[in-house]
Structure 1
Amino acid sequence: MKKIIHVLTLFLTLFISFNTNAQDILKSKDLSTIKVDYLSDDDLAKISAQLKSNNATLDQVESMAISKGMSQNEFNKLKVKLAEYEKKNSKESKEKDSKVKKTDTDSEFGRKQEKIKNEKVKDSANALIFGSELFDNPTLNFEPDLKLATPMNYVLGPGDELQVSVYGVQEYNASIPVSVEGKVTIDYVGQIAVSGMSIEAASQKIKAAIARVYSTVRSGQSQVSVSLSQIRTIKITIVGGKQPGNYSISSLATVYNALHLAGGPGKNGSYRNIELIRNNKVYKNIDIYRFLVKGDQSDNVGLKENDVIRIPAYTQRVTVEGEVKRPGIFEMKKGEKFSDLLNFASGFNEFAYTASVNVVQKTGKEFKVHDINEGEYNSYQPQSGDVFRITKILNRFENRIKIEGAVFRPDYYSFTEGMRVSDLITRAEGLKEDAYSKRARIIRLKTDLTTEIVNVDLGAALSGDLNADVELKREDIITVYSILDFREEYVVTIDGEVKNPGEYEYFENLTLNDLVVQVGGLTGSASKRVEIARMIKSDAIDDADPKRIELIELEITADNNEQIKNFVLKPFDVINIRRMAVYEKPQMVTVSGAVGYPGKYVLANKKETVYNVVMRAGGLTSIANLDGMKIKRPIKEEQIETLERIDLNISKNDTLKGKLAKKLKEDLKFATIPVNWEKIVKDKNHFSNVTLFPGDEIEVAVYNEGVKVTGNVLLTSEIPYRNGKGFKYYLNAVGGVDNKGWKRKAYIIYPNGKADVTTSFLFFRSYPKVEPDSQIVVPEKPERKKMTAGEWVGIGSVISSLALLIVTAFK
């Protein structure tokens, strides 16, 4: 007893050790006790998870496992067992996924079938052959419907699987496959041979065998159900298809399903004489056209093991082109007529000429053309290679006539023999009120297809005069004129002080009041003076009278659109409403900076000066810079347009003019006018006391004792002003110019907008005077292209040549 307890204790210890090591195989220090044969699926799952979490394979940890005591033999066992586990686990995962993805039909009926895949390739070469599209479309596969009840005549064979159920007092349920020997094995019943039997006969045999074992089945207390749960796969052979070969397909598959898998007939394959060969005999001739034309599936029979589908070459094909509903290449059987071919092509379309068909036939050595009349359609037998061309009907009408113009319903109408002009006008609902009754025109197509004009006295024709009521012909075009067609379009023009000046349509008895109201009335600036220009009409030229037009001057009440004395206008009159002599809206300028009352001020008179406006603004304050006053004047659009029109005599590729215009529009926007206030105070007539324009802005700078230094200097800064210090002092105060600075072109901008530049004479340079609140600017040196070594060599050679020439001349 003690020995048994000792053995059990040792076994449990080893098992716990195995389990612990299996759970942490990568971290355990001792693997010598692991026995792979005792590892469970859970242990293997943990090992696999460890390897995946460490992103490693079993081969990568081999050296580590052996170094920790695992024998090479145990490690090899672990590799095999782990590989088998992962393969098994992968298979179960796939089966689980497939069960999840099963359709509602599969889950409902429970019948399974191996999925048969076949990639379809679009056959562009045979696209015109009638029927080829049936096998190119991947959505058409003719697969058997697994949800249908099992056919009672279905013959069982190896690979099928039966679902046998006993229910009632006793219960039994199992899925039993048909073995390769053709038998099914049922627990406690034994083996039953079912191969070659129909499902109905096999069911009766199985029920009888079960009844011998289960007493409740014999007594009727339990029932037996036999159904087909899995369908076997059979082998067939297809010859002559686009993809000939042996195919594994469902035992419920049909001929069309097999043909679709093989891609249908090949390039020269027949669509109408396909043979299904069973037991070395032709079991069925298949004509696909019966299905395509009539939807008849009588040829779509079921297949059996080792069936052969043979697709022979076609016997004769013809081509149908032109105006049929389904043009293409069609296969014909012996004895079929053109009417059958027309049926295959779904008949003529709506534009086809059906009286006869042109066919190009092939003889032994050349082509010939034959016309088939409509009466021969049911008797003509197409020959192999025939090309039938169905043409369009003619683009002409056999009974068309047209009326246009001043009738209520201008349109095309049907023509009948003996029809006259009055008949057609009656059909067009009669003449309009504006119809011109003196004349109508007929454009007539003659027999030689040239045209002629026939004039009709419309009034006489409608009054019953048969001579005037011309008899019409096919394709006549009758035009009824309108009196409005002969009337000139009259207009009048109004300009000046009205709301909407422009050109307006003239009406009879149109007056000046009517036109003023039509254009929206007078503006507030309209004067009482109106000038009307009227054209002069005369049959004779009077050289003594130089006038081109007649001028009429009127006086109106400017504030009233309805004038007491109304004036009747005539066609083409030009009316000008003059502007008042004095009518100007108040215009303003702006004063900003160091003044008593900055803001906007109205220009009180036409020659308002700087001094007047500044004094109206309260004069200058104590902090104003007397040398820092300037006027900013907006640049007008006309000035920019003038610049763009000026020819600067520069090349077409030069962008100078465009840059100038862009700078004025976008950057500057204002022109600066310097103002010398001290001079203006002493002399009001000084040129600085300029006359202001609307929109001007007077800026009075606040006194600033600093001098700004900007541009290409070492330090952009503002230096305190020191009386008596010159230009160089301020440049040196910011560290001087940088390596790009152009010192001799430096300039200064004074507070009032004036500027001054550095000048030089010989070796002497004169710098401008510096004042408080000025700005010194040092520009950048222009880039200069350095001379290359080749250019220096060229200059040297020229100098050498000149020196040699001079020496030679003085010898």
Structure 2
Amino acid sequence: MTRIFFRALNAASLLCILTAPFAYAQGEDLPGPASTWLSNRAYTQQDLYDVPSSDTPYKIESQKRETSEGQRLYRDRYNPPENDLERTFQDEKPQVPPSVLEEMYSRRADEKLEQFGYDLFTARDAGKDDKNAATPPMGAVQDAFVLGIGDEVQITFTGQRTDQQNYKINSEGLLIIADLPPLPAAGRTMGDVRSEIDSAIASLHNTRAYIALTSVRQIGVLVVGQVHKPGRQNLTVFHSVLDALNASGGIKKTGTMREIRLVRQGRTQIIDLYDLLLHGTGRADSQLRDGDRIIVQSIGPTVAVTGDIKHPGIFEVRQNKYAGPKNIETLSLNDMLSLSGGILAPGQNRFIHLALDTKGRENASEINDTKARIFSDGSILSVKKAQERRAGMVELVGNTRRPGVHDLTHNRNLSTLLDSPDVLGPDIYPLIGIIERWNPETFSRIYLDFSVRSVSERTMDIALQESDRIILLGKTEIANLNQEDKPEPEKIEKIGYAQVSDKEYRLYAQENKTIRKYLINRTATLTGEVMNPGLYPVSGSVTLDQVLAVAGGMTRAADPSALEITAAAATHHNEDAPARAIYDLSVTPPENIPVRPGDSIRIASLTRPAELRTVVIRGEVTNPGPYDILPGDRISDLLNRAGGLTQQAYPKGAIFSRESQRKAEKLRFRASAQDMKRALASAIEREKNPPDARQIEMVRELARELEDITPLGRITVEADPHALNINPELDMLLEPGDRLYIPRRPLTVRVDGEVLSPASLQFRKDKEPRDYIREAGGFTYNADKDRAFVIFPDGSAQPLKVSLWRHSADMIPPGSTIIVPRDPKPFDFIESAKDVSQILSNLAITAIFIDDIRD
């Protein structure tokens, strides 16, 4: 009855399994909340149907599509870090400090070297508890697997007997299965146990047994020696020696990689990890047993390989493997190359042996015998690759679409190599190309120039030789030639054709100083009425029409009948005198005029162009603003062009500022600031009466003010049109950068400087200077009363006497400015500086009037 019940139950389960996929296929019948949940997490219903039923939620989550940053954060939240592939690649490799051996070898080899193989244990999970590391395979295992106490197997019966249950091998080594006699299992292979179970159920009709491993017993392995975490490691029988070392944190760089001892039941095996790393063989993957001991001893003898090698590094020499006659571990050149993966490329290589003698001196010797065992503990092999020599080839570089080496057999001549316009780059400079050639007689490189255009047109040709380098230049290179290398006496401000070329074409003229100087020495100078005047390197077979084409042609103002060429070539009469010729292009076509290196070409203009220069007029004029001027323009001309003065204009108070004066004032201010800094430094170094901190700060502040102030550059002029008509000699010529300010007719007198309340005060005839100062609040504590002065509207100045004991009753006209400068006494400790009082007065004047003429 029980057997019938189990059969019915299994049939129902099988029916559910078979119909499950068809039930999930009804995608439209998913509940609404479920569809919304999937959509919010970037799933579609089809995604869910495509997931195998055995996948875990973590695997399902990894299949969703990322449609926003929020969904990426959701994935990071529910994915375990160890299963997140993206995060794994973003983790940085831990920075491990160099060992003593690495520092020693790196210093001797003058190259950073690392000990070989130890990065096997520097992965992120080395030494960490990782449940997924070396996970033992459950289920079907090899028949040769030996079972032991604690192993658990799953046995499934089908046929007359149908049940499934897990059974663990008990402490007596027996496997107790219901309705079957106890089976001895410990120490027997999986195949033997399977055969015995089949024999035990042979009496049951049509019954078969399936056995699978579900869990394995834990074993204890002792790892000691030069590991990061020595001690007992709890592993399984499926773990290997390498797993045990990794669980112990890996081998220290002071530990051996080649003499790892595995002790089992009193017998010792030697594990050499180099066999695994270099050849993929060895005993590092040997399965462990309970009670095994792994001993990592100190590192043995070491050697290093550096230079042009595939895997430079520091390598351990296994003892007794390369032992010589005196039982000393020695290696040959072939052994060293085998350890380091071999040379980078075949060809000529130099092998240098570096070794320390008993006195600590480094000795170097070149190796010719590849089998001689001369490398011992502390030796270094340095591999130097000889420079390659290309035979039967020429190289095309620069502004070309076919860069690289070309077969000399099929390119004997330059015209054959440049046989098509498709070879030339988009920014090709057609007037000159360079052939770089090795001269075996002089043991030096020589340079030959040619016209790219002439070669393309087959009007000239040059035979090529082995190892020639043909350099095609771009217009950008010609535009960027070093300005300082230009020949005298011409100094051209602009170089022709400064265009941007394709970045994929290397700028050889800028990278090679010799080539750049070669080009500079072969330039022709083009000036005058041409679109792009400048320096143009030319070959010996270039004509004027080719040069003009590269320069963009002549301007509309050019005079083709007056083209002047000054040739640098010497004449028969005077070897030092250049030849000069005038050409009329209507008579002599430009294609018949040769241009040689050193020639100077000048294209005259039909008319003298007007030089546009600008001045600015502000204030009380009808049309203020900037105006272009011509040579000979005067102030009266500017006033007329500006529409004349307004009715409120006050020409006597005009402020005229000139650019040259502003520059001169700026230089004077800076020179005064430097004088003050030098004087302050001398005063600080004095032993007697050095300045205090307050005085030092005052001087520094004054120096900064001198350096930062905008100069005024004022010149006293006559700006009244009526006065200029009567006295035309007062009508000043204008210069570019001049500024003229016509103020409004004033009814005030301005008081500024060291007064309590600087202001513009109402003019009255009966007021004296000190009356205005009193209305401005009086003097400040820092005022220099004895040096007060007035600036009249026309810019002239006059000192005032406004102290209590002496004062003058001079009438101050409207529009004047009374200035009270700062007292220079706090600066008396500066002996070598210029007159501080004058500096302070100039600062006050500049600060007051600069706003009146500012744009």
Which residue of structure 1 lines up, in the alignment, with residue 586 of structure 2?
Answer: 562
Deviation at 1:735, TM superposition (A): 1.6
Letter in 2 for 1:624: A
Alpha-carbon distance between aligned partners in 1 of 2:395 and 2:223, rounded to the nearest angstrom: 68
Alpha-carbon distance between aligned partners in 1 of 2:828 and 2:340, rounded to the nearest angstrom: 85
Provide Cα deviations, 1:690-710, integer angstroms capped at 9, x if missing partner.
344566454332223122323
State yes or no: 1:708 paired with 2:750. Answer: yes
* Conservation of the 8 A alpha-carbon contact between 1:277 and 1:310: no
Alpha-carbon distance between aligned partners in 2 of 1:668 and 1:641, rounded to the nearest angstrom: 6
Provide Cα deviations, 1:532-572, integer angstroms capped at 9, x if missing partner.
77789677789xxxx967887x797xxxx636899978977
Written as runs of structure 1 = structure 2, the 5 A alignment for 1:650-669 is 653=678, 667-668=710-711
State yes or no: 1:271 paired with 2:224. Answer: no
Q: Secondary structure at the match of 2:650?
A: strand
Provide Cα deviations, 1:134-164, integer angstroms capped at 9, x if missing partner.
5566667995333453545342434x56668
Provide Cα deviations, 1:705-742, integer angstroms capped at 9, x if missing partner.
12232333222333221222011111111221222233
Q: Which moved more, 1:626-635 or 1:532-541?
A: 532-541
Letter in 2 for 1:252: F
Letter in 2 for 1:329: E
Which residue of structure 2 lines up, in the alignment, with residue 235 of structure 1?
Answer: 220
Which residue of structure 2 lines up, in the alignment, with residue 725 of structure 1?
Answer: 767
Give the alignment partner of residue 145 of structure 1, picking from 120, 135, 138: 135
Q: Which moved more, 1:346-355 or 1:256-265?
A: 346-355
Alpha-carbon distance between aligned partners in 2 of 1:291 and 1:102, rounded to the nearest angstrom: 29
Which residue of structure 2 lines up, in the alignment, with residue 72 of structure 1?
Answer: none
* Conservation of the 8 A alpha-carbon contact between 2:558 and 2:603: no
Alpha-carbon distance between aligned partners in 2 of 1:573 and 1:369, rounded to the nearest angstrom: 57
Which residue of structure 2 lines up, in the alignment, with residue 744 of structure 1?
Answer: 786
Which residue of structure 1 lines up, in the alignment, with residue 242 of structure 2?
Answer: 256
Provide Cα deviations, 1:216-257, integer angstroms capped at 9, x if missing partner.
x99899999875544442223346554654332223222332
State yes or no: 1:778 paired with 2:820. Answer: yes
Could you say if the C-alpha distance between residues 713 and 165 of structure 1 is closer, same or farther in structure 2, counting changes exceeding 3 Å?
Answer: farther
Alpha-carbon distance between aligned partners in 2 of 1:591 and 1:355, rounded to the nearest angstrom: 80
Which residue of structure 2 lines up, in the alignment, with residue 675 of structure 1?
Answer: 718
Written as runs of structure 1 = structure 2, the 5 A alignment for 1:530-609 is 562=586, 584=610, 592-595=618-621, 606=632, 608=634
Alpha-carbon distance between aligned partners in 2 of 1:648 and 1:103, rounded to the nearest angstrom: 68
Written as runs of structure 1 = structure 2, the 5 A alignment for 1:422-571 is 443=440, 520-521=553-554, 524=557, 562=586
Whichever of the two has the greater Rg, that structure is 1
Q: Secondary structure at the match of 1:756?
A: strand
Could you say if the C-alpha distance between residues 231 and 535 of structure 1 is closer, same or farther in structure 2, counting changes exceeding 3 Å?
Answer: closer
Could you say if the C-alpha distance between residues 568 and 441 of structure 1 is closer, same or farther in structure 2, counting changes exceeding 3 Å?
Answer: closer
Alpha-carbon distance between aligned partners in 2 of 1:515 and 1:353, rounded to the nearest angstrom: 48
Alpha-carbon distance between aligned partners in 2 of 1:104 and 1:207, rounded to the nearest angstrom: 41
* Conservation of the 8 A alpha-carbon contact between 1:321 and 1:389: yes
Give the alignment partner of residue 233 of structure 2, picking from 243, 247, 271: 247
Alpha-carbon distance between aligned partners in 2 of 1:285 and 1:478, rounded to the nearest angstrom: 56
Deviation at 1:332, TM superposition (A): 5.3
Letter in 2 for 1:521: M
Give the alignment partner of residue 331 of structure 1, picking from 318, 338, 356: 318
Alpha-carbon distance between aligned partners in 1 of 2:558 and 2:172, rounded to the nearest angstrom: 118
Written as runs of structure 1 = structure 2, the 5 A alignment for 1:607-622 is 608=634, 610=636, 614=639, 619-622=644-647
Letter in 1 for 2:316: I
Alpha-carbon distance between aligned partners in 1 of 2:785 and 2:356, rounded to the nearest angstrom: 99
Which residue of structure 1 lines up, in the alignment, with residue 848 of structure 2?
Answer: none
Alpha-carbon distance between aligned partners in 2 of 1:294 and 1:528, rounded to the nearest angstrom: 84
Provide Cα deviations, 1:759-802, integer angstroms capped at 9, x if missing partner.
58996344764222333333332362699xxxxxxxxxxxxxxx
* Conservation of the 8 A alpha-carbon contact between 1:713 and 1:736: yes
Letter in 2 for 1:331: R
Letter in 1 for 2:280: G
Which residue of structure 2 lines up, in the alignment, with residue 624 of structure 1?
Answer: 649
Alpha-carbon distance between aligned partners in 1 of 2:723 and 2:139, rounded to the nearest angstrom: 117
Letter in 1 for 2:723: I
Could you say if the C-alpha distance between residues 775 and 203 of structure 1 is closer, same or farther in structure 2, counting changes exceeding 3 Å?
Answer: farther
Alpha-carbon distance between aligned partners in 2 of 1:576 and 1:98, rounded to the nearest angstrom: 76
Q: Secondary structure at the match of 2:317?
A: strand
Could you say if the C-alpha distance between residues 563 and 756 of structure 1 is closer, same or farther in structure 2, counting changes exceeding 3 Å?
Answer: farther
Residue ranges of structure 1 left out of the alignment (5+ in a row): 1-96, 106-118, 212-216, 412-424, 435-439, 446-450, 453-475, 480-487, 788-811
* Conservation of the 8 A alpha-carbon contact between 1:492 and 1:574: yes
Could you say if the C-alpha distance between residues 707 and 441 of structure 1 is closer, same or farther in structure 2, counting changes exceeding 3 Å?
Answer: closer
Could you say if the C-alpha distance between residues 273 and 641 of structure 1 is closer, same or farther in structure 2, counting changes exceeding 3 Å?
Answer: closer
* Conservation of the 8 A alpha-carbon contact between 1:595 and 1:621: yes
Q: TM-score, normalised by structure 1?
A: 0.51
Q: Which moved more, 1:776-785 or 1:614-623?
A: 614-623
Provide Cα deviations, 1:261-299, integer angstroms capped at 9, x if missing partner.
454599686836844423xx4286655555445423567
* Conservation of the 8 A alpha-carbon contact between 2:620 and 2:646: yes
Q: Secondary structure at the match of 1:145?
A: coil
* Conservation of the 8 A alpha-carbon contact between 2:220 and 2:233: yes
Deviation at 1:195, TM superposition (A): 6.2
Alpha-carbon distance between aligned partners in 2 of 1:551 and 1:770, rounded to the nearest angstrom: 69
Written as runs of structure 1 = structure 2, the 5 A alignment for 1:292-307 is 292-296=277-281, 300-307=285-292
Alpha-carbon distance between aligned partners in 2 of 1:590 and 1:764, rounded to the nearest angstrom: 43
Which residue of structure 2 lines up, in the alignment, with residue 155 of structure 1?
Answer: 147
Deviation at 1:132, TM superposition (A): 5.7
Provide Cα deviations, 1:189-237, integer angstroms capped at 9, x if missing partner.
999997667667788999999x9xxxxx998999998755444422233
Alpha-carbon distance between aligned partners in 2 of 1:322 and 1:499, rounded to the nearest angstrom: 58
Letter in 1 for 2:554: G
Which residue of structure 1 lines up, in the alignment, with residue 48 of structure 2?
Answer: none
Alpha-carbon distance between aligned partners in 1 of 2:731 and 2:375, rounded to the nearest angstrom: 109
* Conservation of the 8 A alpha-carbon contact between 1:714 and 1:735: yes
Letter in 2 for 1:729: D
Could you say if the C-alpha distance between residues 678 and 410 of structure 1 is closer, same or farther in structure 2, counting changes exceeding 3 Å?
Answer: closer
Percent identity among equivalent residues? 18
State yes or no: 1:345 paired with 2:335. Answer: no
Could you say if the C-alpha distance between residues 442 and 756 of structure 1 is closer, same or farther in structure 2, counting changes exceeding 3 Å?
Answer: closer
Alpha-carbon distance between aligned partners in 1 of 2:652 and 2:278, rounded to the nearest angstrom: 105
Letter in 1 for 2:287: G
Deviation at 1:331, TM superposition (A): 1.7
Deviation at 1:343, TM superposition (A): 8.7
Q: Which moved more, 1:763-772 or 1:738-747?
A: 763-772
Alpha-carbon distance between aligned partners in 2 of 1:506 and 1:540, rounded to the nearest angstrom: 26
Deviation at 1:523, TM superposition (A): 6.7
Q: Secondary structure at the match of 1:301?
A: coil
Could you say if the C-alpha distance between residues 138 and 746 of structure 1 is closer, same or farther in structure 2, counting changes exceeding 3 Å?
Answer: same
Deviation at 1:311, TM superposition (A): 6.4
Could you say if the C-alpha distance between residues 578 and 478 of structure 1 is closer, same or farther in structure 2, counting changes exceeding 3 Å?
Answer: closer
State yes or no: 1:635 paired with 2:660. Answer: yes
Deviation at 1:680, TM superposition (A): 1.4
* Conservation of the 8 A alpha-carbon contact between 1:361 and 1:370: no
Q: Secondary structure at the match of 2:790?
A: strand
Give the alignment partner of residue 685 of structure 1, picking from 714, 719, 727: 727
Q: Secondary structure at the match of 2:716?
A: strand
* Conservation of the 8 A alpha-carbon contact between 1:319 and 1:385: yes
Residue ranges of structure 2 left out of the alignment (5+ in a row): 1-75, 85-93, 103-113, 325-330, 397-406, 417-436, 445-464, 469-519, 681-698, 830-855
Alpha-carbon distance between aligned partners in 2 of 1:575 and 1:187, rounded to the nearest angstrom: 113
Letter in 1 for 2:586: E
